[in-house]
Structures are given as C-alpha cells and as structure tokens.
Chain A
Amino acid sequence: MKARHKRFMWIAIGLLIIAVAVTLVLRAFNSNLVFFFTPSEVAEQKAPKDRTFRLGGLVTAGSLARTSDGLTVKFDVTDTAKTIPVTYTGILPDLFKEGKGVVAQGRIGTDGVFKASEVLAKHDENYMPPEAAEALKRAGHPIEGKVFAGQKPVVTQASSNIKP
C-alpha cells in the first residue's frame, strides 16, 4: 500500500469514527439522556404519550401479582410520591424484587396502566455479604440505596415491621 493510500484510509476511518460519535451524542441528547421517567414526571405529563418511553422507580412492596396464564405479571412502580400500575408479559430479570429498582419500557394506556414490553432491574450500589445485610435489618437499619436521582430514602416494610 502506498503512503498516500494509507493516509486516505486513516482519514476515512477517522471521519467514520467522528460521524458515529456525533450520531451517538445526538441520539443521547435527543431523548435518551433521560433514560427513564419517574412516576411523578409521568403524572406531570412530562413523559411522551404517543410513543414508548421508560418508566423507572421502585416496585411497591406487596404489589406483585401473576395472572392465571402464569406469564403476565402486574406490579406497581412508585417513587414514593406517585405510583403507576404496570403489566408485563415475559421473563423478569433475576434481580427483580419488590422494594427494589426497576426500569420498564413500554407505553401508557388510556386507562393509566403502563404496558411494558421490556423490564430491567436497576440495582443499587450497596455491596455486602448476606450476614451483614441481615444484621443491618435486625438492627432496624435496612439498606437504602438511591435508585434514581433525587429519590427520598424509602423505608421498606421489612424495617417498619421490626421495631427495636
């Protein structure tokens, strides 16, 4: 390969990379910078109505229910201020748990129920051995991870049941 050809090849690669990067940036800034909307934002009509979006928050403790076909699940997503019911047909991720974070993609129906096509678990940044988590729970200080920006600490059921 001649030096000139080589140079053209590198410039082409460089331009291609810059083009891809710019596309990604635009894509991200367009709508995906906000990866999900919280139930409060949905209640304030901030989420798009005509297309799919992601709803993020905590799965309300005690709200998870399976319908008779065994595959469709219903649960509530809350940010402690507002709550939105969600239905989903499919396999839930391992870390999907009541009281834990979740991000669901789908659209909201006229009945106010969010029909999810994809459900992702959003775990927090707490890492500890099971014994330590158990000890904290027993002491009445359950682990409170912040799952979304600006979230107020959530007192889970487990902690309110156990009084010192």
Chain B
Amino acid sequence: MSIFKYASPSTFYPLAGKIAPWFAVVAAMLGAVGLYLGLFRAPVDFQQGEVYRIIFIHVPAAWMAMLIYLVMAAYGVMALTFNTRLSSMMMEALAPTGAMFTVLALWTGALWGKPTWGTFWAWDARMTSTLILLFLYVGYLALINAIDDKKRADKAGALLVIVGSVNVPIIYFSVKWWNTLHQGYSVATSGSSMDPSMRMPMLVMTFACWAYAIAVALWRVRAIILEREKEAAWVANLYVASPPKTSGARA
C-alpha cells in the first residue's frame, strides 16, 4: 500500500506543491552557475572558436528531449499495467516540456550547424530521428486532446508513446550506426573528448535542465489534477480548508 499511497492524485497534489519550488530554486542556481562557467570561464575551442558555446545548451536540451520521452514511456507502462490515473497525468505533464527541449535542440543545432558545417539542416540519421521525436511529442499531445473519453485518450496516448520509444535508441546510436554529418559522442563511459573546463559547464547546465523539468512537470501536473478532478470531493475540501491566500507562494 505504501508505494501506491502517492499514486493517488489527492495525496500527490500537496506533495508536488511542496517539492516543486525546491527544484525550481535548484534549477535557477545551477542555471546561473552553468551560464557563468559556460559564457565567462570556459576557454575558446581550438577549432571552432566562440561558436562552440552553443554546446552548453544544445547537448543538455537534446539529452532532456530523449530522457523525458523515456520517462514518459515508463509512466505509459505503469499506466497500462497498474491503471493508475496519476501515471497518465504525469505523461501529459511531461510532454510539453519534452517537446520544448526537442525544439530547442533542433533550433540550436541549426544555428550551430550553419557556421561550422556550412548548413542549417541536413537529412542525416541523427537530425531526421530527432525531428521524428518532435512529431511523436506533438502527435501524443494531439491524440490525447482528440479523444473526449479521458480513459481511452490516456490508453491511446500511452500506447503511442511506448511504441514510439524505439526512436530514442535510434537517435542516440545513429552517429555510431550510420555515416552522419553530426559528430560522435563527446561524453561517453570510456571517457570524454572534451576538455574538463568545457565539460563542466555542460554537465552543470544538464543538471539545471533536469531540475527545471522536474519543477515544471510537478507544477503542470497539479494543474492537470485540478482540471481532471474538479468534481471530486477532495478538491472542494482543499479550497474550503485553505482559502486562496497561498496561491502566490505556491504558484
């Protein structure tokens, strides 16, 4: 029972409200440190000069785009096996942020590609599969909004996300499996081809993006819980018990 205690929207709602601000604070602090290190402390690159600094947002954004999708797929499996409402709500809460990071990865990649490769876009395996990831995010959001029956919408959405998750390893390994214009891994388990002074800001920015995504997803899931359960008794009690004076601090 204890594991499933927080799987109930009524208990998760206040918990999410309590922890989200902490993640927001961590995200802001790490983001400030990461930007300072990346823009002011990191040296120029021996080949690319200053323009390589785009890596400090491009790589974290691309990692987040893939990671958030995998987390959504995990929630999708939970939603289909345990039939938990909260899992579907978490999927819906994560999708817009995942889509946002995918757009960011594509956009910064284009702006980085033009001055280095000589083109904004190429139909290589890495870039094409990342574009498909964006369509999966948008397709999921369109699907769950198209079906009026929430239960069926959740099931269809979970199925789409689980099936689409085959795309994530394709994105990740594309630079290894095929000839691509995109360069290979800059950070791997076997070591890194990045100087530590450049790797550090990238990792700090990555953790900042993690904290940001958690904060935003928790915040959004609270809105989704209220939207979906506005008829429930516990929601009514919530606002009788505590008048909206806390809205400023919690929002």
Contact = CB atoms under 8 A, between A and B. Distances in A.
State yes or no: do A and B touch (Cβ within 8 Å): yes
Nearest to A4: B148
8 contacts: A3-B148, A18-B139, A28-B123, A33-B178, A93-B118, A94-B118, A123-B116, A128-B198
Interface string A48-66: 0000000010000000000
B124 A35 contact: yes
Interface residues on A, range: 35 or more
A164 to B, nearest CB: 21
B193 A125 contact: yes
Contacts of A7: 146-148
Interface string B52-85: 1001000000000000000000000000000000
B243 to A, nearest CB: 33
Nearest to A21: B135
A73 interface: no
A125 B117 CA distance: 13
Interface of B: 43-48, 52, 55, 115-119, 122-125, 128-129, 131-132, 135-136, 138-139, 142-143, 145-148, 176-181, 183-186, 193-195, 197-198
Question: Which of B119, B135, B176, B185: most chain A CB closer than 10 A?
Answer: B135
Contacts of A33: 125, 178
A103 B123 contact: no
Contacts of B129: 28
Contacts of B47: 95, 100, 123, 126, 133
